[in-house]
Structure 1
Amino acid sequence: MGDFTFSSDFWSWWVIVLTVGNILGCWWLIVWTMKKRAGEAASGDVTHHTWDETLQEYNNPLPRWWLWLFYITLVFAVIYLVLYPGLGKFRGVLGWTGEVRYEKEMAQAEAKYGPIFANYAEQEIPALAADEEAVRTGRRLFLNYCATCHGSDARGFPGFPNLTDDAWLFGGDPASIKTSILNGRGGQGLMMAWEGQLGEQGVDEVTEYVLQINGREVNTELARKGQQHYQQMCVSCHGIEGKGNQALGAPDLTDAAWLYGGSPGTIRESIAKGRNGRMPAHKDFLGEDKVHLLAAYVYSLSN
């Protein structure tokens, strides 16, 4: 509860009253249930509660040590709520917060591992990619921060590039890979939706032409009409021959590497609806030294 923000004093006091009330209620319940009552049989004696004619209940209260466990638990709860946040807006006398704990742990990690990454950062990416220890460390970074999108084997998923081949949207050289991780990719490389300008028929025609330059069997008449649309609307990004443009992040349409899938239906959807995948920037999160090593690992996957 240390990071929870209460929007009003009412809810803060609501939590305080409920929490303190429950602790006091539990304390009273234990005392009340263990209180000896008038006429109660002595410990070990029959209580005169009888079931099924002869089945009787003995008075065997909980052992004292067991009872004290409940009291100790309640005392622990009180001490915890005094020291740490848990009572509404009261933050505890220690001033603990999740942010403070996180920053402290990060500072400790930086003091321990920072020099290691700084040493790696002084080496060129191709050299690191040939260093087995550096690659193992880079792989651990990849599994922690990149595998969710690109997969543990780095072969990607629909919408997330395969990093083990040579089909790079923004370039596969060390500098380009590092830039992609540091600054992310987004505004460039976005595929706009063309259905509004082309109409359904026009989208079908461009789809046929894209399939044609990809080396597949197509309806030549539709492809011929699609080529005209392509030259008007697509050539500025994908090039006359459909080879793409890494400066813009425009993919090569002639190879077998399809980011969102290469079926006719998926290609048609990409043309009609557009694509807006984004690669988040990791510079502020990881720091340049770690990104340098991570880039070396990614570079090693296809080199």
Structure 2
Amino acid sequence: MSTGWSWYVIALVVLNIAGCAWLLWWTARRRPGDPKPEDTSHVWDGDITEYNKPLPKWWINLFYITIVFSIGYLVWYPGFGNFAGASGWTSAGAHDAEKARRDRQLEETFGVYANQPLPQLAGDPQAMALGRSIFANTCAACHGSSAQGAPGYPNLTDATWNWGGDPERILQTVLDGREGVMPPLGTVLEGMGGDVAITQAAAYVRALRSEDIEATLRNDYMAARGKKYFDGLCVACHGPDGRGNTELGAPDLTVRNTLYPNTLESIRTTIIEGRHGVMPAHRALLGETRARLVAAYVWSLSNAPAGAPPERQ
């Protein structure tokens, strides 16, 4: 809070407290010329009389005690501009202390799973129950309660991993997050062949997902023409065969369970506008042990331990 705003708050508080004290004093006393309590002449229904009397002393004194309490409160706790209060208490400090206490409790609960390999955790039913609970609280908002994702959010139950599906790669993703960027190429392609070049490149990408790409290219003129644009612009990230690069997060373009709809229009949108996908880091939120548990649960969705029953969705 700036000095100017601090003085504004201080002035406002002082004026309010002083105003309350003055109002109590002003209304609690009788003034010359006030009618006696029985002389107001305000009578209703024959026997209900209005008396002109101040509040009882005990009631007035309660109000004064409240004012004194408020002054003491502002001395002890923050609330008087930038003055931090004699106690040094802050809501942020109280939150941090409570969080530290809760974190210690969680460490005691999850400590037995610290540093265990993900496949080992995946074979422990109790660890998987905890991992499933953490997933529901932390990950389901994006990936869905069944972990099957949505457009722009990966399906975690299949074998397609843009950043690699090895246990340690999944753990790294959970801990430190990922950021994948597909740059917009619409302007570049328009300069190479107009809007039709964008459509041809999109048709070629879609052809990569066919069962027999050679036959598709022989029968699809637009896809065949789009290969030269793919070779000129896309191979640096997706590779000459379109199978992607897990070091860059460049997706495998030959799989059918794609991150965005496998339609020509959707692929055109990706080429023209690009895509920007962010998986937030959870190291600070979960800590390493809880991140390890949820990573083991995610890994288990597509790598069930031998002899284990299939995961119920």
Q: Fold match, TM over 0.5?
A: yes
State the distance in 2 between where 1:67 and 1:143 align: 56
5+ long unaligned stretches in structure 2: 304-313
TM superposition shift of 1:280: 2.5
User: 2:250 aligns to what SS in structure 1?
Assistant: coil
2:275 corresponding residue in structure 1: 275
Residues 118-153 of structure 1: CA deviation (Å, up to 9, x unaligned): 321232212322333322322343344333433444
| Aligned with 1:100 (options 80, 93, 96) | 93
Alignment of 1:103-122 (within 5 A): 103-122=96-115
How far 1:36 sits from its partner (Å)?
A: 3.9
Q: Equivalent residues in 2 for 1:165-244 (5 A)?
A: 165-186=158-179, 189-199=180-190, 200-215=195-210, 220-244=220-244
TM-score w.r.t. structure 2 length?
0.79
TM-score with structure 1 setting the length: 0.81
What count of residue pairs does the alignment treat as equivalent?
292
Whole-Å Cα distance in 2 between the matches of residues 19 and 246 of structure 1? 60
Secondary structure of the corresponding residue to residue 181 of structure 2: coil
Q: What is residue 302 of structure 1 aligned with on the other side?
A: 302
Alpha-carbon distance between aligned partners in 2 of 1:198 and 1:231, rounded to the nearest angstrom = 12
Measure, in 1, the Cα distance between the counterparts of 2:226 and 2:129: 48
Match of 1:32 in 2: 26
Which stretch of structure 1 is more off in the superposition, 53-62 or 107-116?
53-62
Q: What amino acid does structure 2 have at the position aligned with 1:204?
A: T
Q: 1:64 to 1:157 in 2, by over 3 A?
A: farther
CA apart distance, 1:73: 4.4
Closer, same or farther: CA 55–261 of 1 in aligned 2, 3 Å: farther
Change (3 A) 1:174 1:41: farther
Once the two structures are TM-superposed, the CA of residue 92 in structure 1 deviates from its matched residue by 0.5
Q: Tell me the percent identity.
A: 45
State which drifts further: 128-137 or 206-215: 128-137
In the superposition, relative to structure 1, how do residues 109 and 50 fare at CA in structure 2: closer, same or farther (>3 Å)? Answer: same
- Correspondence 1:4-83 to 2 at 5 A: 6-7=1-2, 9-37=3-31, 38-42=33-37, 47-49=40-42, 58-59=50-51, 70-71=63-64, 73-83=66-76
Q: Tell me, yes or no, if structure 1 residue 85 matches structure 2 residue 78.
A: yes
Output the aligned Cα RMSD. Answer: 3.2
Which letter maps to 1:212? A
For residues 163-186 of structure 1, what are the alpha-carbon distances to aligned partners after superposition, in whole Å with 9 as ceiling and x for unaligned?
233322112221111011122212
What residue is the counterpart of 1:3 in the other structure?
none
Q: CA–CA distance in 2 between the matches of 1:205 and 1:62?
A: 88
Instruction: Give, in angstroms, the shift of residue 103 of structure 1.
Output: 2.8
Tell me the amino acid that sits aligned with residue 9 of structure 2. V
SS of structure 1 residue aligned to 2:249: coil
Structure 1 runs (4+) greater than 4 angstroms displaced: 53-57, 60-73, 216-219
In the alignment, the residues of structure 2 paired with residue 74 and residue 285 of structure 1 have an alpha-carbon distance, to the nearest angstrom, of 43
Distance of 1:72 and 1:241 partners within structure 2 = 81
CA distance in 2, matches of 1:273, 1:297: 34
